[in-house]
Amino acid sequence: MIDSICNPNYNDIEQIKKLLFICFQDDLEDGKTSENMDLNYINFYIDNLFEYKNCFIYKRNNDIISTLFSIPTEIYIEHKKYKASYIYAACTLPEYRSKGIMKNLINYIWEYDKNRNYDFSILVPGEKSLFDYYSKLGYKIFSSYCRETLNLHDNINLELKDINIEKIDNWHEFLYFRNIYLKKNFNIYAKFENFFYNYVYKEISFTNGVIYKFSILGEYKFFVLFSSNDDSEKMYIKETNITLDEFDIYGYTILRYFNIEKISINIPCNIGEENSFSMYKKIGDIDISLKGKTYFNFVLD
C-alpha cells in the first residue's frame, strides 16, 4: 500500500469528478438537487475554475481517495492585505473517512502554504457538524451571519417604494459595488483575488441566481437573489449591502417586484451570534484579534 499527496495531472480528472460526485451529490443548494444537476455543476467547476496547481489529491496506490482545492485569497486587517489559502471542496470517499486522511491532506496544505509565505488558511464548513471537526484542527470562527425572512402577507399594508431595480450584467460592476461595501463596513474581511469573481459571476448565473441593484439617495444597493429549490414562492438574498433596517423598508417592494410570498436575507452579524459561517487558522506569524462584524463570501453558502 503506497500513499501519496500531489497535484493531479490530466489523467486524474475523471477520478476527481467521480470523487466529487460521490461526496457532494446531495450537497448543492440547500441539499436538494438531482444527480444531473450535480454532474453538471462538477463539470461547470472543472471547466471554469479548475487549475492543476490549486488541486491536491491523496492517492492510495493509483486510486484518488481524497481531494481538496486551495484557492489564493486575501484577508484584510485594518486595510492591510495578507495572503490566505481558501480550502474548498475538501472531501474523502465514505469508506476512507475517520482514518486521518483529510487531516493529513490539510497538514500538507499548511506546510505548502507556509513555504509560499501565506499567513492564514480559511474555509467554510459544509455542515454544522464540521465546525467541531475543524476546530480540533485549530480553526476558529472567522465570520457569522443572521438570517431574516420577510413574508408578503405579514406586510401587506406597507407602502411600495419608488425604486428602480436593475440587473447587474457583468462581474466588474458587481465587484466594484462589493469592494466599496467591504471597505466601508468592515475592518477585517476576506475576499478572493479579482480574477475569481469572473467565476463567481458565472456560478451565480449557473445556479439560477441573478444580481440586482437599485439606488437609495444616490447610493447603490446590490443583492444576489436565488430561487428556492423546494418552495416556488420563496427566494433568498445570499449576499447584499442592504442593511436590516433598509430591508424592513424596501423588502416589501422587492417582494412585490418579483411577485413572491417570502424572501430571506443573509446579513453579517457579530461573531458568535446566530449562524457561524467561515473559519480561519493562523499558519504564519500574524494572528487576528476578532471582534464585532467580520466578513467572508455569502454567495458560497
| Cβ–Cβ < 8 Å for 286, 82 | yes
Record: fold of 3-144+272-300: Aminopeptidase (3.40.630)
Joined together, the cell numbers standing for residue 172 give 466588474
Residues 96-118 have a mean pLDDT of 95
pLDDT band at 56 (very low <50, low <70, confident <90, very high): very high
> What pLDDT, in 10s, does the model give residues 89-98?
999 999 999 9
pLDDT value at position 85?
Answer: 95
Dihedral sign from CA coordinates of 184, 258, 201, 38 = positive
d(CA 68, CA 71): 10
Does domain 145-269 match CATH 3.30.750.24?
Answer: no
The CA–CA distances, whole Å, from 42 to 45, 206, 215, 260 equal 5, 11, 36, 30
Instruction: Say which residue, 227 or 142, is predicted with more confidence.
Output: 142
Query: What are 141-198's pLDDT values in tens digits?
Result: 999 988 888 887 776 667 889 999 999 999 999 999 999 999 999 999 999 888 889 9
Q: How far is CA 207 from the centre of its chain?
A: 13
Least confident of 20-29, 139-148, 291-300: 20-29
Looking at residue 31, its pLDDT comes to: 42
Task: Please tell me what DSSP assigns to residue 86.
Answer: E
Using pLDDT thresholds of 50, 70 and 90, give the confidence band for residue 290. Answer: confident
The CA–CA distances, whole Å, from 230 to 37, 236, 291 equal: 15, 12, 36
Residue pair 145/298 in contact (Cβ under 8 Å)? The answer is: yes
Say what the pLDDT of residue 78 is.
Answer: 87
Would you kindly state where each structural domain of the chain is located, as residue ranges? 3-144+272-300, 145-269
If you average pLDDT over every residue of the chain, what do you get? Answer: 88
> Given pLDDT bands bounded at 50, 70 and 90, which one contains residue 55?
very high
pLDDT at 29 over 70: no
C-alpha cell at 218: 444616490
Q: What pTM was estimated for this model as a whole?
A: 0.89
pLDDT higher for 273 or 250? 250
Q: How confident is the model at residue 39 (pLDDT cuts 50, 70, 90)?
A: confident
